[in-house]
Amino acid sequence: MKILALLFSFIVSIFALEFSVGENGTSSENNNTILILGGMQGDEPGGFHAASLLLSDYNITKGKIIVAPNLAFESIIKRSRGVSGDLNRKFAEINPKDPDFETVQRIKSLILKPEVSMVINLHDGWGFYRPTYENELKNPKRWGNSSVIDTKEINASAYHNLESIAKQTVESVNASLADPRHKYFLKNTKTEELNDTEMLKALTYFVISNQKAAFANEASKNLPVHLRAYYHLLAVENYLKTAGLEWERSFELSPDGVYGAINREIEVKLFDDKILLYLKNPRKSMNYIPFPVNKELNYQTSNELTAVVAENNHFFIQYGNRFQSRIYPEYLEFSDAFEEVDFIIDGNETSVPFATRVKVKKEFVIPKIQNVRVNIIGFDHSKDESNIIVTKNKMKTQYALDDAGKIYRVEFYELRGANLQQLLEYQKGTKIIKNAKMPDINTLKEAARKDKFLGSVLVEFE
C-alpha cells in the first residue's frame, strides 16, 4: 500500500508548462494599468528577456504593470517560432481543439481586464524596417527596429492617438541608440484600411478592436540579444512615462547594463525549498540529484524564463532559449523534520536554511546531528561526514556544480528507521515540472530502503 501511495503522489504532480503572469505596482483608480507581453514567438529572445526583466529588476513606484514574459513558453524552450503554429495569428479565430486554445483565451482575458488601458507586445523581426527600399536588409517589408501600430487613431478612453504616441517613442529610442545604423522608424500596418489578412488575426488588432491602445515594439534579429532587449526597454519605458508611471530598476539602462542583467547567475529551488541549484557556469550535467517519490515535483526560479523540464528518464534546466544543465535524478523519500542546519564556517557558527548558498574562505565543519547523516558530494571521506574539517583542496572538482570547481552540494539525510517528528505540510514551489515520467516499481522499492532526504546546502569556496 505504501508503494501505491507513492505512485499516486507522483502521478498527481504532472501538469503542462504554461506562461506566467506577474504584477508590479499598484492599480490606480483610473484603470491605467499597462499590459506588457513577450515570447509570442519562441525564437524572439530580445522580447521575452526584456519582459522578464520588468518583473525581476523593476520596482513600479507609481501605477501598475502586468507582465506575461513567456507566452509561448514551450516554443521558447524548444527554440521554435511556434510548436503549434504562429500564436500571433490566432486572435481572430481559433479552433477549441487547437493546442494553443487555452493560451489564447488566457491572453485575451488579460487584455480584457477593465484596469488595462494599454498593451505593449514585444517582438524581434528580421532586418531593419525602412519606409523606402534601401537594400535587402533595410526596406518596407522588414520589421526590425520599428514601432508598430495598426492605425493612426482609435476610439478609446485613453491613448487614442496611436501615431502620436508611437512617434514620440521612436524619437525617445533614437536618442539613445548604441549605433546610428540601428535607427528606429514608425511602421503603420494600416491593418483594417488595407484589409491585411494576416494582421487582422494578430494580437494588436484584437486589442484595438476592444477599444484599447496597442503598440508592438520590434527589435532586429540581426542584433545581439542584449541589444534587442535594450531597445525594447527603451521603448517600454517611454510608453510607461507616457502613461504617467514611475519606477526604479536594479541595473543601468545601457547595452552593458542589460547584458549583465540578462547573463547573471540563475537560481533554481526544488521541492519546497529542499535543494538549490546555483547556475554559475554550470556543468552540463548534474548526477544523483535527490528527487522525491512522496512530494510534488515543484520548483521556483529567479526569473520567469527558467524552467525544469522532463525528458525521458532525466530532466534539464532551460533559461529561455539557452540550455543550462541536465539533471539525472536519484529517487528518494523526503523528510520534513527540519528546515535548517548548523554550520561552522571559517570558525564562525551559523544556522543555514536548506536551499541556500554559503561562501567559505578556508574551511567548514558540520556539527553532528542525532539520527542524521551528512553527505558532502565530492568529499568522499566516510558514510557520515559531520564533525570533519573540510577544505577546498580535499574536494574532487569533478563533483562540483560549476566548471570552476568551487560550488559543492552538502546533503542531509534522516537515517532509515529514525522516524523524526515531521513539520506541518507546506508548499513553497510555484511551478510544476512538466511531463515527469513516473518511476517504476523497483525504483520506488529501492527508495523505500534508503535514508530519507532532508535537504541540502551549497558551499562555494572563494
For 216-264, the pLDDT digits (tens) are: 999 999 999 999 999 999 999 999 999 999 999 999 999 999 999 999 9
CB 63 within 8 A of CB 28: yes
Can you name the residues that pair with 344 across neighbouring β-strands? 349, 365
The predicted model gives 39-50 an average pLDDT of 97
User: Where a domain ends, among 263, 292, 316?
Assistant: 263
259 and 315 belong to one structural domain:
no
Quote the pLDDT of residue 10: 44
Cell 512617434, residue located: 167
Distance CA(422)–CA(321), nearest Å, equals 40
Measured between alpha carbons, how far is residue 19 from residues 16, 101, 264, 356 in Å? Answer: 10, 13, 22, 27
Is there a domain that residue 15 lies in?
no
302 and 243 belong to one structural domain:
no
Is there a domain that residue 358 lies in?
yes
> pLDDT by residue (tens digit) across 257-304?
999 999 999 999 999 999 999 999 999 999 999 999 998 999 999 999
What amino acid is encoded at 91 in this protein? F
Q: What is the dihedral of CA 407, 319, 247, 118, to 10 degrees?
A: -170
For 417, counting Cβ atoms within 10 Å of its Cβ (0-12 exposed, 13-18 middle, 19+ buried), the class is exposed
Is there a domain that residue 12 lies in?
no
242 and 124 belong to one structural domain:
yes
385 and 455 belong to one structural domain:
yes
Is there a domain that residue 257 lies in?
yes
Average pLDDT, the chain: 94
Can you name the residues that pair with 330 across neighbouring β-strands? 290
421 and 453 belong to one structural domain:
yes
Is there a domain that residue 1 lies in?
no
Quote the pLDDT of residue 95: 97
Confidence bin at 427 (pLDDT 50/70/90): low
Is there a domain that residue 3 lies in?
no
Cell 503554429, residue located: 85
441 and 312 belong to one structural domain:
yes
Quote the pLDDT of residue 434: 81
239 and 325 belong to one structural domain:
no
Long-range CB contact pairs, 141-144, < 8 A, 24+: 143/187, 143/218, 144/218, 144/219, 144/220, 144/221, 144/222, 144/223
* CATH code of 254's domain: 3.40.630.10
Distance CA(46)–CA(267), nearest Å, equals 21
Q: Which residue has the higher pLDDT, 296 or 91?
A: 91
239 and 340 belong to one structural domain:
no
Quote the pLDDT of residue 16: 59
pLDDT of residue 9 exceeding 80, the answer is no
The predicted model gives 149-172 an average pLDDT of 96
The predicted model gives 361-371 an average pLDDT of 97
pLDDT of residue 12 exceeding 50, the answer is no
Instruction: Provide the percentage of residues in the chain whose pLDDT is more than 90.
Output: 90
pLDDT of residue 6 exceeding 80, the answer is no
Is there a domain that residue 5 lies in?
no
The predicted model gives 381-403 an average pLDDT of 95
149 and 165 belong to one structural domain:
yes
Quote the pLDDT of residue 14: 38
> pLDDT by residue (tens digit) across 335-357?
999 999 999 999 999 999 999 99
Confidence bin at 15 (pLDDT 50/70/90): very low
Quote the pLDDT of residue 7: 43
CB 47 within 8 A of CB 6: no
197 and 312 belong to one structural domain:
no
pLDDT of residue 153 exceeding 80, the answer is yes
The predicted model gives 383-412 an average pLDDT of 97
Is there a domain that residue 4 lies in?
no
Strands 58-62, 246-249: pairing is: antiparallel
**Percent helix, strand, coil in the chain (nearest 5)?**
25, 35, 45
316 and 345 belong to one structural domain:
yes
Cell 534546466, residue located: 317
251 and 273 belong to one structural domain:
no
Instruction: List, in sequence order, every beta strand (DSSP E) within 108-178.
Output: 116-125, 128-129, 138-139, 146-149
* pTM as predicted: 0.92
Quote the pLDDT of residue 423: 86
User: Where a domain ends, among 217, 233, 263?
Assistant: 263
Q: Which structural domain, as residue segments, surrounds residue 283? A: 266-461
Cell 487584455, residue located: 111
The count of domains in the chain is 2
* Alpha-carbon torsion (199, 203, 207, 210), positive or negative: positive
User: Where a domain ends, among 223, 242, 263?
Assistant: 263
